[in-house]
Amino acid sequence: MIFDSAVAVARRRGVYDHPVPTALLSVYDKSGVVDFARSLRELGWTLVSSGGTAQAIAAAGIDVTDVAELTGVPAILGHRVVTLHPKVHGGILADPTDAGHVADMDEYGITPIDLVVGNLYPFASDPGIELIDIGGPAMVRAAAKNHAHVGVVVEPERYTDIVDELRADGALSESTRRVLARAAFAHTAAYDAAIVTWFDETEPDAADALPESIHLALTNVQSLRYGENPHQQGARYRQTGATSWWDSMTQHGGKGLSYLNLYDTEAAWRLVHRFDAPACVVVKHANPCGVAVADDIASAYRLAHACDPVSAFGGVVAANRTVTNEMAIALGDVFTEVVVAPGFEDDALETFAAKKNLRVIAANAPSPLPFDLKPIDGGLLVQQPDPVAGRTDDWRVATQLQPTDDQWRDLEFAWAVCAAVTSNAIVYARDLQAFGIGAGQQNRLDSARIAAERAAGRAVGGACASDAFFPFRDGLDAAAAAGVAAVIQPGGSVRDDEVIAAADEHGLVMVFTGQRHFRH
């Protein structure tokens, strides 16, 4: 017979009589549970089960006792109450080395339970009241609490290891029970977090306010080569129950992904999806260093790369169309870390195959982010995500000159790019091609100068976007010196009149959006 070591100790002390170990199985996900039950029976265990789990085990010809027979009470209240009974929870929570517990078990006819196998209703699959599991979490938490004497299994992929350990050692070790208990509490914590999130999402006017509390359950789903630097560990965690394009993506070639590969690729992939026409984005250190829209994807790539070829070295390229061999050939001479797109022509994959270190990723579109989170001491800063920068009714022309249709097109393009650049941000663009991007400077004037230097005269007649207002006219003067014909900015400075006068003086069009796009 197979006995837990603590039970064996108690029996030797004469305070506990427990001839056969008992397992309670009650699972929604029945993957592998019948084979697991069969193995336990072969090892001499008594099986207790309920509902569909009991039916599946019995249908396989395996001896199993229904929970109703154990408790003397059938499932009631439309199956809401099945295992909520002292003979179930007393058996799970009993300490076999405690004489008082043993006396209570004897008085009330409670059979000890040595192993609980349970997983919960799939609440996240179809959120609603009836998929809020009560009995399951209660059993799992009880077993995890009493892990000194009881094993608990919530993940079907652990069944084989459990059986192997029982066969080899005759019992689950203390360390195994502790690992299983941690997994069980993580399982119920994630379940409760999903329920709280559902309440928040279904609250009237939920989109207009941040929730009172945020409950995140994250699972380590991908080990990375390293973090931002090789001496740092890195991993991708996914919110439990959520879906991610990273999980469904296909990597066709290249080395394993690092922390910065994911960070930069996420930034590029989100930005390129702001454009409907064929577009390419080149990102370096989470900032775009090239963005362009064109009639075909190869042309879009060439134009995006031309913005800042120096910064594009070692960058990430994102395309919102299937990558053609023409684009692959154009990219061939440029050292690139990652290329991400909805798909790749076979010839393009063959071309990329010659670049052994290039990571080639086919992916679905990214999903909206619920929150923007940044860690600070003792917690997180939380804000709503900044929406995609697009034209709204709040936009107004502040200058004497009105934009032409072509200028409107470039202003909207530059504004969308600028919203993805770290502040202070200035973008110069023309004909749906970025030519100068100034990012992350402590003052707006330096960003304008950097953008102008990189544009090198190519943005003459184009548009300038600023993610926040110009506090002085000097930034506007720098844009005029770069030769742009139109400017887009939020407005709202106490010196707006001065900046508008400067724009009129230079003969520029200027549009106020009424909304800034700081990004830190």
Going by C-alpha positions, the residue among 405, 406, 398 that lies closest to residue 429 is 406
DSSP 48: E
Going by C-alpha positions, the residue among 507, 442, 449 that lies closest to residue 474 is 449
C-beta pairs of 106-111 under 8 Å, 24+ apart in sequence: 110/86, 111/22, 111/70, 111/87
pLDDT attached to residue 208: 66
Pairing of strands 46-49, 65-66: parallel
Q: What is the 3-state secondary structure (H, E, C) of 472-487?
A: CHHHHHHHHHCCCCEE
Neighbouring residues of 209: CB distance < 8 A, sequence distance ≥ 6 = none
Which token pair is 425? 């941000």
Q: Please answer whether residues 422 and 444 qualify as being in contact, where contact means their C-beta atoms are separated by less than 8 angstroms.
A: no
Per-residue pLDDT of the chain (520 residues; tens, 9 = 90+): 333 444 444 443 344 455 689 999 999 889 999 999 999 999 999 999 988 899 999 999 998 988 888 888 888 887 788 888 888 899 999 998 888 888 888 888 888 999 999 988 778 777 888 888 888 899 999 999 999 999 999 999 999 999 999 999 988 999 999 999 999 999 999 999 989 988 888 877 666 678 888 888 899 999 999 999 999 999 999 988 788 999 999 999 888 899 999 999 999 999 999 999 999 999 999 999 999 999 999 999 999 999 999 999 999 999 999 999 999 999 988 999 999 999 999 999 999 999 989 999 999 999 988 889 999 989 989 988 888 767 888 899 999 999 999 999 999 999 999 999 998 999 999 999 999 999 988 888 899 999 999 999 999 999 999 999 999 999 899 999 999 999 999 999 999 999 999 999 999 999 999 999 998 8
Selecting among 30, 85, 145, 215, the annotated active-site residue is: 145
Based on the residue annotation, tell me whether 285 is a catalytic residue of this protein.
yes
pLDDT attached to residue 237: 93
- By the 10 Å C-beta count (0-12 exposed, 13-18 middle, 19+ buried), 405 is classed as exposed
pLDDT attached to residue 438: 92
What is the C-alpha to C-alpha distance for residues 73 and 35, in angstroms, rounded to an integer? Answer: 28
Task: Tell which CATH classification among 3.40.47.10, 3.20.20.70, 3.40.50.1380, 3.40.50.720 matches the domain 5-194.
Answer: 3.40.50.1380
Compute how many other C-beta atoms are within 10 angstroms of the C-beta atom of residue 30: 16
User: What beta strand segments (E) does 195-348 contain?
Assistant: 218-223, 235-239, 250-253, 279-284, 287-293, 315-319, 336-341
Which residues lie across from 22 on neighbouring strands?
A: 46
- The two domains 5-194 and 243-362 share their CATH topology (first three levels equal): no
φ, ψ (nearest 5 deg) of residue 27: -130, 150
What is the C-alpha to C-alpha distance for residues 246 and 126, in angstroms, rounded to an integer? Answer: 23
In whole angstroms, how large is the CA radius of gyration of the chain?
A: 31
Selecting among 85, 215, 252, 285, the annotated active-site residue is: 285
What is the C-alpha to C-alpha distance for residues 367 and 245, in angstroms, rounded to an integer? Answer: 8
Neighbouring residues of 215: CB distance < 8 A, sequence distance ≥ 6 = 192, 193, 196, 197
The answer to whether the Cα torsion of 101, 102, 107, 113 is positive or negative is: positive
Q: How far is CA 167 from CA 2, 43, 59, 162, in A?
A: 9, 7, 25, 9
Superfamily classification of domain 243-362? AICAR transformylase, duplication domain (3.40.140.20)
What is the C-alpha to C-alpha distance for residues 165 and 509, in angstroms, rounded to an integer? Answer: 75
What is the C-alpha to C-alpha distance for residues 11 and 421, in angstroms, rounded to an integer? Answer: 69
Task: Give the orientation angle of helix 473-481 with respect to helix 496-506, to 10 degrees.
Answer: 20
What is the C-alpha to C-alpha distance for residues 266 and 514, in angstroms, rounded to an integer? Answer: 28
Based on the residue annotation, tell me whether 145 is a catalytic residue of this protein.
yes
Q: What is the 3-state secondary structure (H, E, C) of 138-149?
A: HHHHHHHHCCCC
Pairing of strands 463-466, 433-438: unpaired
Tell me the residue type at 315.
G
Compute how many other C-beta atoms are within 10 angstroms of the C-beta atom of residue 374: 9
Number of alpha helices (DSSP H) and beta strands (DSSP E) in the chain: 19, 21
What is the pTM assigned to this prediction?
Answer: 0.85
Residue listed under structure tokens 């770069």: 482
What are the percentages of helix, strand and coil residues in the chain, rounded to 5?
40, 20, 40
Neighbouring residues of 403: CB distance < 8 A, sequence distance ≥ 6 = 397, 411, 486, 509, 511
pLDDT attached to residue 131: 83
Fold classification of 396-512 is: Cytidine Deaminase; domain 2 (3.40.140)
Residue ranges per structural domain of the chain: 5-194, 243-362, 396-512
